[in-house]
Amino acid sequence: MKVEFINPFVSATLDVFRVMLSCELSREPLIVKREHTPMHEVSGLIGLSGTCRGMVVVSVGRETAIRAAEIMLSSRPDGLNADVMDAIGEITNMIAGAAKAQLEQYSLSVGLPTVITGKCQTITFPSGAYPIGIPFESEIGPVCVQVGLVEVSEPAAPSAANGSTSAESN
């Protein structure tokens, strides 16, 4: 995967957390993901299509997800409820949208976010899209953004950008 695909997601993640959550992130070393599991228990997924196709996964721990929703809603949720899922979906959407704006030469379309939870999640990226993990630390907890993009010869229809997901909760 090209390094030019990663930097827009790094800056988008830093900006979204700073603006929406008043939270500064510090980036950890990149991780080449060989397995198809997110780093944390709650994950927002969003497909990208255009002259590239792939997926972005924003993965946070349970408490990080609850804290993020609490900051956005000015009220603490009672656990992993619909408000928390909506907050993580919105954060994922904002990160993908901001990165898309920096990658305009690829004519990307952003799909709708999906949020999955559980300790045994499996995420399948589109064929040839090998994900890179971008871990961050913050005062509300750990965050990892996984990006898997691959250039394609023919732009795919928006629905073709979505990777397969399955989630099991143990």
Question: Tens-digit pLDDT profile for the chain (170 aa)?
Answer: 677 889 999 999 999 999 999 999 999 999 987 777 888 999 999 999 999 999 999 999 999 999 999 999 999 999 999 999 999 999 999 999 999 999 999 999 999 999 999 878 888 888 888 899 999 999 999 999 999 999 887 655 554 344 444 444 43
Total tally of structural domains belonging to the chain: 1
Q: How high is the pLDDT of residue 43?
A: 96
The position carrying tokens 């499996």 is: 122
Q: Which residues of 88-126 are buried (b: 16+ CB within 10 A; e: fewer)?
A: bbbbbbbbbebbbeebeebebbbbebbbbbbeebebebb
Task: For residue 161, tell me if it sits in a domain.
Answer: no
Give the integer Cα–Cα distance in Å for 165 and 44.
11
> What is the CATH classification number for the domain harbouring 68?
3.40.1550.10
Range of the domain at 120: 3-155
**pTM, to two decimals:** 0.87
Within-domain flag for 162:
no
Report how far residue 110's alpha carbon sits from residue 128's, in angstroms, rounded to the nearest whole number: 19
Q: What letter would DSSP give residue 71?
A: H
